[in-house]
Amino acid sequence: MDDELSGVVLSDTRERMEKAVGHTRADFAGVRTGRATSSLVEHLRVDVYGAEAELRTIAGLSVPEARMLVISPYDKSTLASIEKAIQASDLGITPSNDGNVIRLGFPPLTEERRKELVKVVRHKAEEGRVAVRNLRRAARHELEGLEHGGDMSSDELERVEKELDKLTQEMVTAIDKLLAHKEQELLEI
């Protein structure tokens, strides 16, 4: 029975840790590099039809060239709202509206801006690592509760905690790999 309970705790923790790593990956995608990519704006909240919607649900996004992103709204009446949302975002890019589509030209990043973005990405990575460690702590408390309740032996607790530490290290390593890749992407000219 204790194998079953610890297995449930471990699988639940793995699932949550994978979500934390996925969240970190999504945060990294939102950090602008020198290239245009739709992931920078697709989750941008736009006020249309009296409600907020994600940009990707109200417009088509395309990248015709490396430093240009084109936003084609499905309804032309939403152009002004989309433009306003882009200007209010922290992208630092002024949209160009021709009445049919919005173009975002991505200027090359300066050395100073690249270093700032590396700091931002490192901070996001640390937030991801902290989230993974917090999940480990929560799982440990749950496992210790099972031991105190008599549902798990102390030997089993020790074995499962080693598995938990191994899982935590695996997830932290995944975040570190994502960080290394994003830093390299940011620093390449």
**Residue pLDDT, tens place only, 83-104:** 888 888 877 788 888 888 999 8
CATH 1.10.132.20-classified regions of the chain: 2-30+110-187
Q: Are 35 and 66 in contact (CB under 8 A)?
A: yes
- In whole angstroms, give the CA distance from residue 93 to residue 106: 7
CATH 3.30.1360.40-classified regions of the chain: 38-105
pLDDT value of position 189: 62
Architecture of domain 38-105: 2-Layer Sandwich (3.30)
Q: Are 175 and 129 in contact (CB under 8 A)?
A: yes
**Residue pLDDT, tens place only, 15-58:** 999 999 999 998 888 776 767 777 778 888 888 888 888 888 99
Architecture of domain 2-30+110-187: Orthogonal Bundle (1.10)
How far lies 46's CA from each of 8, 62, 76, 90, in Å? 40, 18, 14, 14
